[in-house]
Amino acid sequence: MERKEMLLIALIALLLLTTAVQAIQLVALSSNSVAIGGSKSVSVATGASPAVSAPSSLDNLPSMVGGC
């Protein structure tokens, strides 16, 4: 095979590998709990109600960044 064909095959294989890794990560993210910061675990709501609670460190964010 020519060098261009080998390079094209290698690039396609790399793209397929990247796609497979992203698919695995997407499946892992669709589980019911997501680790935040390595130590906390937050339950994710799956369904029609998008109820998301912010961590307590975000409560005073406007004062930390000089906002209102």
Indicate whether 51 belongs to any domain: no
pTM confidence score? 0.44
* Residue 39 within a domain: no
Residue 57 pLDDT exceeds 90: no
Determine the pLDDT at residue 43.
Answer: 57
How many structural domains are present in the chain?
Answer: 1
Whether 45 is covered by a domain: the verdict is: no
Question: Where is 13: in which H helix or E strand?
Answer: helix 3-29
Q: Which of 33, 53, 54, 36 is nearest to 44 (CA)?
A: 33
Per-residue pLDDT at 4 exceeds 90: yes
Given pLDDT bands bounded at 50, 70 and 90, which one contains residue 3?
very high
Is residue 53 one of the residues assigned to a domain?
no
Question: Residue 1 is part of which domain span?
Answer: 1-30
